[in-house]
């Protein structure tokens, strides 16, 4: 194999935009991120190094406006037939450089997709929020404030709980929504975001999705308090913290769509988030392959390059094989998403698409965590050394396995679909 790009992906799935977009993006990432990423861990709180890199990518290159329609200054990608596949490419390239930066960018898109993705477009809100992202050369972040203290990722278990456990409330008072609640761990919290998408309930304890509301809350409003970022094992480019909403008032039309459609539009985010999570991981694994290739070619066992020893070759062969399979699966997951509006496709909020994509994400997560752990062992005395980059990815990808309900929710969603379970 000549290049890591030769890892398999179904070529008939690839967007015409892929080659050139990927080239520009890769060049920018190598210059702005890969060259400095080994110092990111110490920069977790201040983002002195990380923020300028975000500015180059999101502001100057313009990634943050990619989803907005062209008439509002964006690139119009949310309306593309290739939305999932272009997103996959973007997240894979970002993941190769730094999965923390990748998730911070992707999560900026996440709450906006509730109003950007057909058939759930909200023209008025697009017009309202587009200038915030499109009329600047500085990075601007958004966050999806979902997780709550009492129940971890229960909120992402919409298929079963239908919002029953949500304790963040929205009360209509005249022409304003009044928000109260406590969220924790959103990507791009910790003082980073200018805009929050907030899943809340209009009737606590209800299992009727008509009572689920998705409401946008600008971060500067009175009553919004953000805690300091948490210190974590990795993912330094992604800040996470607590957010409190105390009698926060927003215009009534900041609700995404209204009863029923809010839950549907929000539920799309689960499959989108899972597909892009897979892309982060395959991107990181492509970089693993690059670094591992160098190590096993230049270091020896029995005075021969490690890769020429049959037993070691058995291990690194399996690693490369897993990367190849995961990349194929990732592209298949993206294609499932892009078939959503086709006659032979299924809605991304249907039980089968949610189940199948959760299943792929769970499978790829397990393989990724295992592959990185094994690669560190192949490096042995050098496995924990930051200069080889693999340990950074190892720390970063673990949280991808854990987020959005983690492994167990993936297993439940898959069982629910494949075995028609009714009570899980």
Partner 1 sequence: MNLDELFLAPGRPGGDDEGNVVALVRQFTEKEILGKRLDYLNDYPRLFQDRLQKLAHDIGLQRLAMTEEDGGFGWCLPEHAGGVLEVLTEVGRADASAGVLFSMNYALPFSATLDRDQAAPFLSDRLALTSVILPGPGFAGEISPLFHGRSVLARVRRTDAGAVLNGRTMRPLAGGFMADQYAAVCTDDDGRTCLALVPGSAKGIVKGPALLTTGLNACTNCDITFENVQIHAGNVFSTPGIAEALSSWLSLFLGGVSLGAGLNLFEILSTWCETRVIKGSGLLKENPLCAAVLADVAEELAVTKLLLGNLADILSSAGGRQDTARMFAYAGMIGARVQQSVMKAINRGLELMGSAGYAKEWHAEKHWRDVKTIQSLLCGMGAEAPTKMDTARFFFACSQI
Interacting residues toward partner 1 by CB under 8 A: 38, 41, 147, 150-154, 157, 160-161, 164-165, 185, 230-234, 240, 297-303, 305-306, 309, 311-312, 314-315, 369, 373-374, 376-387, 391, 394-395, 398-399, 401-403, 406-408, 411-412
Rounded CA separation 371/377 (Å): 10
Which of residues 76 and 191 has its CB atom nearest to partner 1 in the complex?
191
Closest distance between partner 1 and the C-beta of residue 196, in Å?
Answer: 18
Short-list 199, 203, 169, 205, CA closest to 186: 199
Q: Least CB distance from residue 293 to partner 1, whole Å?
A: 13
Tell the smallest beta-carbon distance from residue 215 to partner 1 (Å).
21
For residues 392 and 329, the answer to whether their CB atoms sit within 8 Å is no
Nearest to partner 1 of 68, 403 (CB atom): 403
Give residues with Cβ within 8 angstroms of 419, minimum separation 6: none
User: Least distance in Å: CB of 134 to partner 1?
Assistant: 32
In the complex, what is the shortest distance from the CB of residue 85 to partner 1, in angstroms, rounded to a whole number? 29
Least distance from partner 1 to the Cβ atom of residue 46, Å: 17
Distance between CA atoms of 27 and 234, rounded to whole angstroms? 24
Instruction: State the Cα–Cα distance between residues 279 and 125, nearest whole angstrom.
Output: 28
Q: Supply the minimum distance, in Å, between the C-beta of residue 106 and partner 1.
A: 17
Residue whose CB is less far from partner 1, 194 or 407 = 407
Nearer to partner 1, 42 or 123 (CB): 42
Two structure tokens written together for 344: 């032979």
Helix pair 406-418, 351-379: axis angle to 10 deg: 140
Which H/E stretch holds residue 138?
Answer: none
Q: What three-state secondary structure class fits 128?
A: helix
Please say which residue, 111 or 229, places its beta carbon nearer to partner 1.
229
Please, which residue, 240 or 268, has the CB nearer to partner 1? 240
Taking the least distance from each CB to partner 1, the nearer of 161 and 210 is 161
Evaluate the CA torsion angle 266, 268, 272, 274 in order and state its sign.
Answer: positive
Q: Which lies closer to partner 1 via its Cβ, residue 65 or residue 392? A: 392
Alpha-carbon span 201 to 212, nearest angstrom: 5
Lookup: tokens for 225: 């308090």
Beta strands in 15-155 (DSSP E): 142-144
Find, among 368, 276, 332, 271, the residue nearest to 88 by Cα: 276
Q: What's the closest the beta carbon of residue 391 comes to partner 1, in angstroms?
A: 4
- The structure tokens listed for 267 are 């539920």
The span from the CA of 247 to the CA of 344, in Å, is: 46
Cβ-based burial of 315 (10 A; exposed 0-12, middle 13-18, buried ≥19): middle
Q: Whose Cβ is closer to partner 1: residue 309's or residue 350's?
A: 309
Q: How far apart are CA 328 and CA 86, in angstroms?
A: 15
């Amino acid at each position: 194999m000549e290049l890591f790009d030769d890892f398999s992906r179904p070529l008939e799935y690839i967007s015409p935009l892929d080659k050139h977009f990927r080239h520009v993006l890769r060049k920018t990432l190598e210059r702005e991120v890969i060259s400095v990423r080994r110092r990111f861990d110490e920069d977790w709180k201040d983002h002195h190094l990380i923020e300028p890199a975000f500015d180059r990518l999101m502001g100057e290159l313009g990634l943050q406006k990619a989803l907005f329609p062209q008439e509002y200054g964006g690139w119009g990608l949310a309306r593309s037939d290739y939305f999932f596949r272009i997103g996959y490419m973007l997240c894979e390239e970002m993941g190769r450089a730094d999965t923390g930066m990748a998730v911070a960018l992707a999560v900026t898109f996440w709450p906006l997709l509730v109003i950007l993705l057909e058939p759930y477009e909200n023209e008025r809100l697009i017009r309202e929020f587009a200038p915030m992202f499109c009329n600047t050369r500085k990075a601007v972040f958004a966050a999806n404030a979902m997780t709550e203290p009492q129940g971890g990722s229960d909120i992402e278990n919409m298929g079963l709980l239908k919002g029953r456990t949500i304790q963040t409330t929205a009360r209509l008072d005249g022409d304003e929504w009044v928000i109260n609640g406590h969220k924790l761990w959103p990507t791009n919290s910790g003082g980073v975001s200018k805009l929050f998408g907030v899943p809340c309930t209009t009737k606590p304890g209800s299992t009727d999705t008509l009572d689920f509301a998705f409401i946008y809350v600008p971060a500067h409003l009175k009553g919004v308090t953000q805690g300091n970022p948490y210190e974590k094992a990795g993912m330094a480019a992604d800040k996470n913290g607590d957010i409190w909403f105390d009698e926060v008032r927003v215009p009534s039309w900041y609700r995404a769509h209204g009863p029923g459609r809010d839950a549907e539009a929000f539920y799309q985010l689960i499959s989108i988030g899972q597909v892009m999570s897979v892309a982060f991981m395959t991107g990181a694994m492509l970089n693993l392959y690059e670094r591992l290739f160098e190590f096993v070619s230049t270091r020896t066992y029995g005075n021969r390059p490690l890769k020429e020893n049959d037993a070691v070759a058995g291990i690194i062969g399996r690693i490369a094989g897993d990367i190849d399979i995961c990349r194929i699966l990732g592209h298949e997951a993206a294609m499932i998403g892009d078939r959503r509006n086709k006659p032979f496709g299924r809605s991304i909020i249907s039980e089968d698409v949610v189940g199948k994509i959760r299943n792929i994400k769970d499978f790829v997560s397990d393989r990724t965590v295992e592959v990185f752990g094994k690669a560190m062992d192949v490096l042995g005395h050098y496995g924990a050394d930051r200069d080889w980059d693999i340990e950074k990815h190892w720390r970063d990808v673990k949280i991808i396995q854990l987020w959005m309900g983690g492994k167990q929710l993936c297993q439940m969603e898959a069982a629910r679909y494949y075995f028609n379970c009714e009570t899980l």
